[in-house]
Amino acid sequence: MYKEIVSFIHELYGTDEMVPLHVPTFRGNEKKYLNECIDSTFVSSVGKFVDRFEEMMVDYTRAKKAVVCVNGTNALHMALMLVGVERDDEVLTQALTFIATCNAISYMGAHPVFIDVDKDTMGLSPMALEAWLKENAEIKNDSCFNKRTGRRIKACLPMHTFGHPVHLDELVAVCDRYHLELVEDAAESLGSFYKGKHTGTFGKIGAISFNGNKTITTGGGGMLLFRDEELGKFAKHITTQAKVSHRWEFVHDHIGYNYRMPNINAALGCAQLEQIDNILANKRETAENYKNYFKNNNDITFFTEPDNCKSNYWLNAVLLKDKQTQQEFLQYTNDNRVMTRPVWELMNKLPMFKDCETDGLENTQWFADRVVNLPSSVR
């Protein structure tokens, strides 16, 4: 069976060579805009492409304000700071995520608490979240506290795994009831919509990544999405060293951060974003090919977008029947020129986070034992 799957993937991508997991595609104005940058000499953090990229992202996502930064991890760090997370607070998140989610929490001196995911989204479960809060949390003076640790629970940080949106309406409702700030880790979900609304625009702030393996790329890079335009303007100020605008003087009015995206990266982003509809259509076509190929396979299930969602299918995923078959599949495909991978090592299994509180993570572990990502590049 594995031999036939490898043959199918090689045929799908039209090559007998190694098929990578996800590589960027440059089929638009990338070279033109990069040359414009070089010719202008504005290759650093000031230039027309920075502003244009932010404006284009506002138009695409319908956020009130978009602010570029160096990478998605910076965006998460800023988002948590801007919603008021402080040292020794707790942030409710998922263990099935990339390390950046938890690193950003740690940068704040805060503590992650790991809540289970839903079977239909692979993302933070509103039901599991509410169940944990009912048992472990109490409201005092309009703030939420962990009854066991005594720490303030300030925020909830779901991640839209592989671009599949979590159940956002329900999650927003739970956060509202418990006075939690909702920050969306939308690093993987540019081009994903929940009930017709773009991910990253439901919480107070959303964070997107433009790493080289993402749906569109700026080489490195990230972005913050805001529902509050004034908060977005403040974020722009502090991520650019909090410099007060002046023709020649250097005056700063806050502790600032050098999280500025260079103009040359933003130029790449503008060209990429111009192509996003074509990119997403191609990726959905690839996902449909996988879905049709695996639909009659009793041992392997292709993971499809949740109800009421339009996913970007950033990384396509299949579910194997158990850990042993997952490892066999990974071994065979990678030995035969098809790059596949399992989900990330669960955050609660890493030495830095092994002592963090969890709710048992039953579904999370179930996925960790079964998920394999398949090649998902634009063809």
- Number of domains the chain is built from: 2
Q: Indicate the SS3 state at residue 371.
A: strand
User: Does residue 352 belong to any structural domain of this protein?
Assistant: no
Q: Would residue 357 count as lying in a domain?
A: no
At 204, which CATH number? 3.40.640.10
In a domain, 56, yes or no: yes
pLDDT at 368: 98
Per-residue pLDDT of the chain (379 residues; tens, 9 = 90+): 899 999 999 999 999 999 999 999 999 999 999 999 999 998 887 889 999 999 999 999 999 999 999 999 999 999 999 999 999 999 999 999 999 999 999 999 999 999 999 999 999 999 999 999 999 999 999 999 999 999 999 999 999 999 999 999 999 999 999 999 999 999 999 999 999 999 999 999 999 999 999 999 999 999 999 999 999 999 999 999 999 999 999 999 999 999 999 999 999 999 999 999 999 999 999 999 999 999 999 999 999 999 999 999 999 999 999 999 999 999 999 999 999 999 999 999 999 999 999 999 999 999 999 999 999 999 9
Both tokens of residue 194?
A: 């929940």
Give domain status of residue 351, yes or no: no
Rounded Cα distance between 77 and 347, Å, is 17
Concatenating the DSSP letter of every residue in 312-368 gives --SSEEEE-SSHHHHHHHHHHHHHTTB--B-PPPPGGGSTTTTTS-BS--HHHHHHH
Question: Final residue of a domain: which of 231, 258, 275?
Answer: 275
pLDDT of residue 47: 87
φ/ψ of 310, rounded to 5, equals -125, 105
169 & 203 share domain: yes
Q: Is residue 166 assigned to a domain?
A: yes
Alpha helices in the chain, H assignment, sequence order: 2-12, 30-40, 48-61, 72-82, 99-107, 126-136, 168-177, 229-238, 263-274, 276-294, 323-335, 362-368
User: What's the pLDDT score for residue 364?
Assistant: 98
In 125-232, the DSSP E strands lie at: 137-140, 143-146, 152-157, 181-185, 193-194, 197-198, 205-209, 222-226
Q: Could you tell me if 171 and 242 lie in one domain?
A: yes
| 58, 122: one domain | yes
Q: Is there a domain that residue 349 lies in?
A: no
Judge whether 79 and 207 are in contact, CB under 8 Å. yes
* Residues 209, 321 within the same domain: no
Same domain flag for 204 and 271: yes
- What b/e sequence results for 177-207 when a residue is b if at least 16 CB atoms lie within 10 Å of its CB, and e otherwise? ebbbbbbbbbbbbbbbbbeeebbbbbbbbbb
72 and 147 inside one domain: yes
Please indicate, yes or no, whether residues 204 and 285 belong to a single structural domain of this protein.
no
Question: What is the model's pLDDT at position 46?
Answer: 83
Same-domain pairing of 265 and 307: no
Provide the whole-model pTM: 0.96
Q: Which of 197, 199, 209, 289 is nearest to 24 (CA)?
A: 209
The predicted structure's pLDDT at residue 45: 79
* 233 and 171 within one domain: yes
Using CB atoms within 10 A of its CB, is residue 81 exposed (0-12), middle (13-18) or buried (19+)? middle
184 touches 171 (CB < 8 A)? no
Cα 366 to its chain centre, rounded Å, is: 21
Instruction: Name the nearest CA neighbour of 50 among 210, 227, 226.
Output: 210
**Structural domain contains residue 360:** no
Residues 319 and 181 in one domain: no
Which range of residues forms the domain containing residue 329? 2-22+277-344+370-374
Q: What is the pLDDT of residue 1?
A: 85
CA distance 224 to 226: 7
Contact 191, 280 (CB under 8 A): yes
Per-residue model confidence (pLDDT) at position 293: 97
- Which of these three, 251, 275, 299, is where a domain ends? 275
CATH of the domain at 298: 3.90.1150.10
Domain boundary among 227, 255, 275: 275
Same domain, yes or no: 48 and 131? yes
pLDDT value of position 58: 98
The confidence score (pLDDT) of residue 141 equals 94
Q: Is residue 363 part of a domain?
A: no
Q: Is the dihedral of CA 49, 196, 95, 214 positive or negative?
A: negative
Instruction: Looking at the structure, tell me whether residues 54 and 135 fall in a common domain.
Output: yes
pLDDT of residue 44: 86
